Every structure is written in C-alpha cells, then in structure tokens.
C-alpha cells in the first residue's frame, strides 16, 4: 500500500507536469492572459490512510479502503509582490467505500509562488487551516482513534504545477487532514489523513 501511494505521488510531482505539457497543443497553446486569475475551481480524488500527520508526510502508513471526491472553490484576495498569495477555499466532499457521508471544509491558506524554474513549470506550495464538518461520525476516525466528532479542525498541504502556456490549469497533489487540534475540538486527538490528487481551473 505504501509503495502504491509513493508511486502515485512520484507520478504527480515529477512526471505529472511533463505529461501535462505533452497533452497541451503547442500553439494554443500559447494561451496567455493579462487578466488576474483570482478564482479557482478544483476537483480531486483522495484516499484515506491510517497514520498520523507526520507519518502521512513520510509515507509511513497504510492506505484505508476508503476514498472521497471533493469539489473546491478558492479565491485569492491578496498577493505580496510575486512571493506569496493569501486565499480562501471552500470544499464539499463525498466519502464512499468504508465511509458514506458528506464533508464540508472552509479554510484560509498561504501559497508560496516564487520558484527559480517557474518559466518551465510554474510551481506553488500551499498550506492552509480551517474548520471541517462531517454529516456523520467518520468510521475511519473512530476505528483509528476511538473518539470522534463531526466538527473538527482542518489542515491542507498542497504542491501545484502548471505550464506557462496554460496558466489557467493546475495539476496538484495535497494532504487533506481533519484534526482535533490536540484536543481543542471535543477533546479529540488525531482524526484522519488522506492523499489527494486533482486538477484546478483558474478564472
């Protein structure tokens, strides 16, 4: 399971931007826009795992037989020079397989947008925090931690890639994390983590 997950992320982080470019028509290719692309709509698939957040980052965990699809709407509201953006994002997710409920998340994030290779593959790294609400007590969280709550804190970590000729499109990988924030939310400690991959259209 770990190997499958690592392979998936290697494809997204290393191979994804290159294959994305091969699919683009070389002419239209030179799509450029002077409009500010402040809004984004994203669709992503994520698979839950049974580890803590630190174990998720190091792939020291096993995947659960549980996934979800999420639709997200984001809005950039501030840019500091060409270094970083500040954004809001709202998400609606539908869980399936071992869990079968809806999840709603609202967060703010900071996105670092300046990298030396941006002229070849425009890259950004984002981290965000907010609130998460599940319409039912998540079974994965109960199985792995015992104590659960519908209402918890939320964290997101993302790496996104786009090609300069296609600035409206991002391919991204992210970690999706529900948490009790050390017991602040209903005395829950730990909750759930998921690896996600998706695509975003900016407008």
Q: What is the DSSP letter of 100?
A: -
The Cα 198–Cα 178 span in angstroms is: 19
161 pLDDT more than 90: yes
Q: What is the pLDDT of residue 34?
A: 63
Q: To the nearest whole number, what is the mean pLDDT of the chain?
A: 87
Instruction: Report residue 33's pLDDT band, with 50, 70 and 90 as the boundaries.
Output: low
For residue 77, the domain's CATH number is 2.40.160.20
Of residues 49, 85, 66, the one with CA closest to residue 170: 85
Query: Domain residues for 38?
Result: 2-26+34-202
135 pLDDT more than 70: yes
CA atoms within 13 A on the CB side of 177: 22
Q: How many domains does the chain have?
A: 1
Distances (CA, A) of 177 to 37, 76, 107: 27, 22, 12
Q: What is the pLDDT of residue 128?
A: 98
110 pLDDT more than 60: yes
Instruction: Report residue 189's pLDDT band, with 50, 70 and 90 as the boundaries.
Output: confident
Mean pLDDT (whole number) for 86-95:
98
Distances (CA, A) of 121 to 17, 112, 131, 196: 7, 14, 32, 20
Mean pLDDT (whole number) for 171-200:
93
Q: What torsion do the CA atoms of 99, 102, 106, 112 make, to the nearest 10 degrees?
A: 50
pTM assigned to the model: 0.83
20 pLDDT more than 80: no
25 pLDDT more than 80: no
């Amino acid at each position: 399971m770990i190997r499958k997950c690592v392979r998936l992320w290697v494809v997204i982080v290393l191979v994804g931007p290159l294959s994305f470019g091969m699919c683009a028509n070389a002419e239209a290719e030179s799509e450029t826009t002077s409009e500010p692309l402040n809004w984004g709509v994203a669709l992503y698939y994520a698979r839950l795992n049974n580890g803590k957040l630190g174990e998720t980052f190091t792939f020291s965990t096993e995947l659960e037989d549980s996934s979800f699809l999420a639709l997200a709407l984001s809005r950039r509201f501030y840019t500091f020079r060409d270094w970083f953006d500040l954004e809001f994002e709202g998400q609606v997710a539908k869980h399936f397989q071992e869990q079968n409920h809806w999840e709603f998340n609202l967060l703010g994030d900071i996105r670092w947008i300046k990298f030396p290779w941006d002229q070849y593959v425009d890259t950004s790294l984002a981290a965000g925090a907010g609130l998460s609400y599940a319409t039912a007590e998540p079974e994965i969280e109960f199985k792995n931690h015992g104590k659960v709550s519908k209402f918890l804190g939320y964290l997101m970590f993302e790496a996104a890639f786009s090609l300069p000729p296609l600035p409206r499109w991002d391919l991204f990988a992210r970690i999706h994390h529900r948490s009790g924030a050390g017991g602040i939310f209903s005395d829950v400690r730990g909750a759930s983590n998921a690896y996600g991959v998706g695509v975003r259209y900016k407008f």
